[in-house]
Chains A and B, each alone.
Chain A
Amino acid sequence: MGALDELTALAADRTAAAREWAAAGRPVAGYVGADVPVEVLTAAGFLPVRLTGDPDAPSDPGDRYLGRGLDPVARSVLTRLLDGAYGRLDALVVSHDCEASLRLFYAVRELHRTDPGIGLPPAHLVDVLHLPHRTTTRYVLAKIRQLRAQVERWSGAAVTDDALATAVATHDRVRALLGRVAALRRSRPARLTGTQALAVVAATTALPPDRAAELLEALLAEADALPEHGGTRVFLTGSSHDHPAVYAALEGAGLLVVGEDHDWGDLLHHRRVDPPADPALLELALAERYQHNGPAAAAASIRQRAAHTAAAATACGAEALVSYVRVHDDAPRWDFPAQRATTGLPAVLVDHQPYGRVDLDALAGLRPRGAAA
């Protein structure tokens, strides 16, 4: 099996690596949101596995506890947590990357209090915030130290500075390799589809980081042998995608997603920690990396988003801009007018979309003639 096939399979079976990890007696931590500093979990001996929803499964328990006014991804994740769909999780770390994640954390915390037998893992909120100010940096630094203390309590052992430095280096290596992989979809002709690129990124969030790096290197080594892909080159903005269905539908209709600005894609890896030489500054460097990573729709200003989208779409050689917005994911709709104006590309907003589905008719003007709907 080639590296691409292996990564794609691991993206589809996200508990495979966790099962192996747990079978060896090692702890697994589920996490929600790209704002969780996974380095701290890795340094403590946890396998961090980013949790995904499932658009094809009912989400009744999540709907019940969270209400139906919240991003359906969070409702699905809570449902799957309650169903035990992620296998054994020794801990759950939730970030404040968006309101839905915060509400998910509050629900889990409250269920622990009111329904202690419900079987949810112990949970911790890591409140990484994003205003570009020194006051926020100091706060995020405190939150990273709080997380470090929490995982030490969970694991019963100190997270050493050496272990943290090693984890930072390993995760930075994964980010750098993902950056090189992303270039494969931007080349003309593209060597990866958007759907494939999405799967590669997703796989790395369910693997031990050193294993992820090995597979990414193998993928880069086989890149010249990968088939070429064509289609109308679009840059995808709007909601994030923890599931490949929308990408597959877009590309099945003749589009080629050459880049995106959500954190299941390019935004996950475009900024590294790049730790300073002084090991005493490592936590601070982590804080700055997570504070300034982005700009994600839910945490960035309209102006930041528009500038980033325009620059990224240009770098990708995009011919059009598509903003896909899931129902109850409100932030991207406010971003769209400025993104459209700043990129200067033909642009379409596909709004109020159900989780995992896309109205292809709304994209008719962008699709090549004769492409299947």
Chain B
Amino acid sequence: MTRLDSALRATRHQKQWFADLRAEVAAGAPLALVNADAPQEIFRAMGIPYVVNQWWASIITAKRLGEDHLRRLRAHGYPDDSEQYNALPLGDVLEPDPTSAPWGGLPRPTIVLAETTGDASRKVFDIWGEQPGTTFYALESAAENAVPERWWELMPHRWEEAIGSDRLDLLVGELEGLIRFLETTTGRVFSETRFREVMDLVNEQEEWNRRTRDLIAAARPCPLEVTDGIPSVMVPQWHRGTRWGVEAAKAFHDEVAARVAAGTGVGVDERARLMFIGRGLWFDLDFYRRFQESHGAVFVWSMYLAIAADGYLRYGDDPLRALAARFACFSDQLYTPPWSVEWYVKEARHHGIDGVVHLVSDDPRGGFFTTRGLEAAGFPVLELRADNVDARTADPDALDRRVAEWLDDVVLPRAAARR
């Protein structure tokens, strides 16, 4: 099928943006390296260019340089089988190789911003912080006893009730410190009016994503391949808080809407609608297309558009507290039962899913409650065990065989019976 223009435009934009960023940093601008779930809006408001660590890791992996970067970690005594997704970009710092670095290479950041999630991910950022000229600004990763019901309905406006004040007080305090730190070290100004504008733009962008998600959920057949959907939502996501981000999200929506109106699908007879739970399989993006031709099985859902639709909207009169509310519980939304479990079930129902492929990495998040919750709601689940950026953890042929057998034996008969 024809690729979405919005996906092609996003990829083109990203290359030009990165070239411009390299030039800006070469001319003396500060550079931030930020974790995906960290409050990037502060940097946006202050005009400080930033790169998202996991996006850069996905570029390294897509260029098939992941194993080489892991080797560089190992050569310096660090593990090569821990926190691979977060750690890959460190390979360039520990052993720079300008000849192989994708897109000319990542300039040396002046600040690294990340939350201390898990036991080891903060260590990765500690190593960044040991590099000359780089400061690691750490944020706590707090947890709470209470669980809100149907968080996706509460979050846009009633986030204080959903998250709890203690976590918000903590992150607001940390962000106030971050602003002061950036003002002091970069000489740039934090303007509250500019920040409010950024927050408004982010909400506007995510509202478009919400409409797009709802269009795709209702459309039969599915109007796009998930591999087109991921860049169409995620590249603008890394540029949220800009007019370009809003326009890109709107263009993505309009293109999807046109396809839905025309009844355009992905070019196969859609016999089963699949959901993919887990991070993107960056080392094997063809995986998502492989079962379209052979089985008419189409991945209609990945978390990237869905979390953009439900996970980011935060309105309110206090923009810094609203920003804290966007990130104080971000990993709960995706990875903590029952927050995540109930959301996946809601999304599976919303999209008319026939089967769920659940990527379970060899990490602490586990997958039992997600799988059980979906199965209890009537959705067949296939658990695949692999790391999303480490090709060594998966035998592609074995993955394919398991999926094909599951589609033949479980999903297609069930989908046929339902239609």
Chain A positions within 8 Å of B372 at CB level: 114
Identify A67's interface contact among B78, B119, B123, B360, CB under 8 A: B360
B76: interface (CB < 8 Å): yes
* Complex CA–CA separation, A149 to B85 (angstroms): 40
Chain B positions within 8 Å of A106 at CB level: 336-337
Chain A positions within 8 Å of B123 at CB level: 301-302, 331, 334-335
* Complex CA–CA separation, A328 to B119 (angstroms): 10
Q: B166 contacts A131, CB within 8 Å?
A: no
Chain B positions within 8 Å of A64 at CB level: 368
Identify B82's interface contact among A71, A105, A301, A333, CB under 8 A: A333
A66: interface (CB < 8 Å): yes
How many chain A residues touch B (Cβ–Cβ < 8 Å)?
52
Instruction: Identify which of A2-10, A96-104, A277-285, A308-316 touches chain B.
Output: A96-104
Residue of A nearest to B73 (CB): A334
Q: B82 contacts A330, CB within 8 Å?
A: yes
Chain A positions within 8 Å of B192 at CB level: none
* Complex CA–CA separation, A71 to B362 (angstroms): 11
Identify B369's interface contact among A110, A139, A298, A340, CB under 8 A: A110
B124: interface (CB < 8 Å): yes
Interface secondary structure of A, over-half rule: helix
Name A101-132 residues within 8 Å CB distance of B: 102-103, 105-107, 109-110, 113-114, 124-125, 127, 129, 131
Q: B367 contacts A131, CB within 8 Å?
A: no
Name B328-378 residues within 8 Å CB distance of A: 336-338, 341, 360-369, 372
Chain A positions within 8 Å of B69 at CB level: none
Interface secondary structure of B, over-half rule: loop
Q: A106-B336, A139-B140, A328-B364 are in contact. Are A303 and B145 (CB under 8 A)?
A: no
Q: A139-B166, A337-B76 are in contact. Are A69 and B338 (CB under 8 A)?
A: no
Chain B positions within 8 Å of A297 at CB level: 119
B147: interface (CB < 8 Å): yes
* Complex CA–CA separation, A330 to B169 (angstroms): 30
Most buried by A among B76, B82, B177: B82
Closest CB in chain B relative to A150 CB, distance in Å: 8
A136: interface (CB < 8 Å): yes
Identify B120's interface contact among A67, A113, A136, A331, CB under 8 A: A331
Closest CB in chain A relative to B215 CB, distance in Å: 33
Q: A133 contacts B174, CB within 8 Å?
A: yes
Residue of B nearest to A150 (CB): B145
* Complex CA–CA separation, A106 to B173 (angstroms): 26
* Complex CA–CA separation, A207 to B251 (angstroms): 66
Name B78-96 residues within 8 Å CB distance of A: 78-79, 82-83
Q: B173 contacts A127, CB within 8 Å?
A: no
Chain B positions within 8 Å of A114 at CB level: 369, 372
A261: interface (CB < 8 Å): no
Chain B positions within 8 Å of A138 at CB level: 169-170, 173
Chain A positions within 8 Å of B142 at CB level: 127, 129, 139
Interface size, B (range): 35 or more
Binary per-residue interface labels of chain A (330-357) against chain B in the complex, 1 for a CB within 8 Å, 0 otherwise? 1101111100100000000001000000
Q: B119 contacts A333, CB within 8 Å?
A: no
* Complex CA–CA separation, A336 to B74 (angstroms): 12
Q: A99 contacts B118, CB within 8 Å?
A: yes
Q: A331-B123, A334-B124 are in contact. Are A100 and B174 (CB under 8 A)?
A: no
Q: B170 contacts A135, CB within 8 Å?
A: yes
Chain A positions within 8 Å of B130 at CB level: 302-303
Identify B145's interface contact among A67, A124, A336, A351, CB under 8 A: A124
Q: B119 contacts A298, CB within 8 Å?
A: yes
Closest CB in chain B relative to A334 CB, distance in Å: 4
B138: interface (CB < 8 Å): yes
Name B128-162 residues within 8 Å CB distance of A: 129-130, 138, 140, 142-145, 147
Q: A66-B366, A103-B364, A139-B142 are in contact. Are A334 and B170 (CB under 8 A)?
A: no
Identify B368's interface contact among A67, A135, A331, CB under 8 A: A67
Identify A109's interface contact among B147, B166, B367, CB under 8 A: B147
* Complex CA–CA separation, A340 to B372 (angstroms): 44
Q: A106-B336, A138-B173 are in contact. Are A127 and B144 (CB under 8 A)?
A: yes
- Give residues in A with beta carbon < 8 Å to B: 64-71, 96, 98-100, 102-103, 105-107, 109-110, 113-114, 124-125, 127, 129, 131, 133-136, 138-139, 142-143, 146, 297-299, 301-303, 328-331, 333-337, 340, 351
Add 13 more A-B contacts to A67-B364, A69-B365, A139-B170 (CB < 8 A). Answer: A66-B368, A68-B362, A69-B361, A100-B364, A110-B369, A124-B145, A127-B142, A135-B173, A301-B138, A333-B120, A334-B123, A334-B127, A340-B77
What 9 A-B pairs come out closest when comparing CB atoms? A67-B366, A334-B123, A135-B173, A337-B77, A330-B120, A298-B119, A331-B119, A139-B170, A330-B82
14 contacts between A and B (CB under 8 A): A67-B368, A96-B143, A99-B119, A103-B364, A131-B116, A135-B170, A136-B170, A142-B169, A143-B166, A330-B79, A330-B118, A333-B79, A334-B123, A336-B77
